[in-house]
Chain A
Amino acid sequence: MVSLPGRVSLDDVDDRGLASRSSDGDIRAFEVLVRRYEQLLGTYALRVLGSAVDVDDVVQEAFIAAWQQLPTMEDFGAVRGWLITIVTRKSIDRLRARHEHSDIDEVEIEARSDGPDVTASANSLDEALSKALSALPPDQRRCWLLREVAGYGYDRIAQELGLPVSTVRGLLARSRKSLVREMEAWR
C-alpha cells in the first residue's frame, strides 16, 4: 500500500495533482509547487532582468498571483509553463518600470563579448552555454529566453518587449549564432 499523503508524500504528487489541489485551497500542496519551481523561476527571472535587484520580488509576486489565479486555471498539467509565463510578465513589468524611472538602462551595463573565448574557462557544455548566455547583449538574451524557455512566438515577444517583429527576428538570429558558436566549440 502507498501511504498518501503526509507532508512528505505530497512531494511525490505530480504537477497536475498539486495544481489541482492548490486550486482547492491547499496551502501545503502549493508550497510543494513553490519549492519545486522557485529555483528555476528565480534563475529565469535573473536572466530576463539581467540583475539580481528585483528577482526576489518578481518570484514572490509571481507565486502570489499564481495562487490567486489557480482556481481559474484550465490545464493543471501545464503549471510549469504557466508559472514561467507569469514570471515573464512580472519581469517585463519591472524592466518597463526601470525605463520609466531612469534614462539609462542599468541592465545594459554588463559584460559583453562577441568573441569566441567566453567559454574558454567552462568545465562543461552546460556551463559554457550558461556563460555564453550571460555574454549576450540583454535584448538578445531576453528574446532568446522568451522564445526558448517561455515558448513565445515572434509576435508575442515583439509585443511584450515593445519591439518590431523584424527586430525580434534579427535579435534571435544573432543570439542563436553566438550560442551555436559556443556549443560547437564543445563538440
Chain B
Amino acid sequence: MTDPMMPPGDSPLDEQNLDGHTIEELSDYLDNGRQPTDQSIESSAGAQNALAALSRLRALAPRILEAEAKAAPVRDASWFKRLLDQIGVQAHAGREIPIRSDHPEAQLSITEGAVRAIVRAVGDEIDGVLVERCRLDGDVETSGEPVSVVIDVSIYADAEASSVIDELRRGVESALSRHTELNVSGVDIVVRDFEKDPEED
C-alpha cells in the first residue's frame, strides 16, 4: 500500500518528503543505530518514513543477490576439483615425516597433510563424529621422537560422546601405526562443538 500522505509516484526519499533532512544524514543516522538520538529526525513524520524505507531496503539487500544467484545458470565446477587435487596437496602439506629405507640414498617420507587426512578419514567411518582439524605435536621430522596427536572434533547429538571418542582414538592409533612410522605418544581429542542432528532440521 502506498502511503496516503504521499501523492502517487512519490517516494519517501524524494527531497520534498525529507523535512529538511538529507538522505546522507538519515543513512548515517541509521548506520549508527539511531544513536545519539536526534529529536529533529525522531519527531519528523517525513524523516521517519524515509528511515523506514531505508531499513526495508537494507533488509532486502541480501535477498536481491540470493534471488539472482538462484536464477543464474549453474556454474561448472569440475575444473576446480582437478586444480585442488594438485595445489591441494601442496598448500597444506606441512612437515615431512620420514619413512625408513634400507637404501642409503633413499629419502622417503609422508607429509603431515597426508597424516591429517588419514585422521579425518578414520573419523569419517565413525557415526556421530566429525573430525574438524588435527595437529601433530613434537619433532615429527626425526625418526623415533615422541609425537602427540591433537584432534578437534564435533560430536553430533545422538552420538554417545565417550564411546565415539574411544572408537576414534583406537582407530587413529591403528591407522597411524599402519601408514606411518611415527612414535605416537598420545591421542588427545578435543570436543569443539556439540551439534544437533543435521537431519532434524
Contact = CB atoms under 8 A, between A and B. Distances in A.
A24 B22 contact: no
A180 B120 contact: no
B127 A43 contact: no
A3 interface: yes
Interface residues of A, number: 61
A183 B159 contact: no
B52 to A, nearest CB: 10
Interface stretch (B101-109, B130-138, B141-149): B130-138
B176 to A, nearest CB: 16
Q: Which secondary structure dominates where chain A touches chain B? A: helix
Contacts of A30: 84, 88
Given A39-B70, A170-B24, A184-B12, A34 B80 contact: yes
A182 B130 CA distance: 46
A153 to B, nearest CB: 8
Nearest to A173: B23
Interface residues on B, range: 35 or more
B5 interface: no
A23 B64 contact: no
Contacts of A71: 92
A1 interface: yes
Contact of A42 (B75, B88, B92, B197): B75
21 contacts: A2-B156, A4-B127, A6-B124, A21-B130, A21-B131, A24-B131, A24-B133, A25-B88, A31-B80, A34-B77, A39-B74, A39-B75, A42-B75, A67-B84, A124-B67, A130-B68, A149-B62, A169-B24, A170-B24, A176-B54, A183-B57
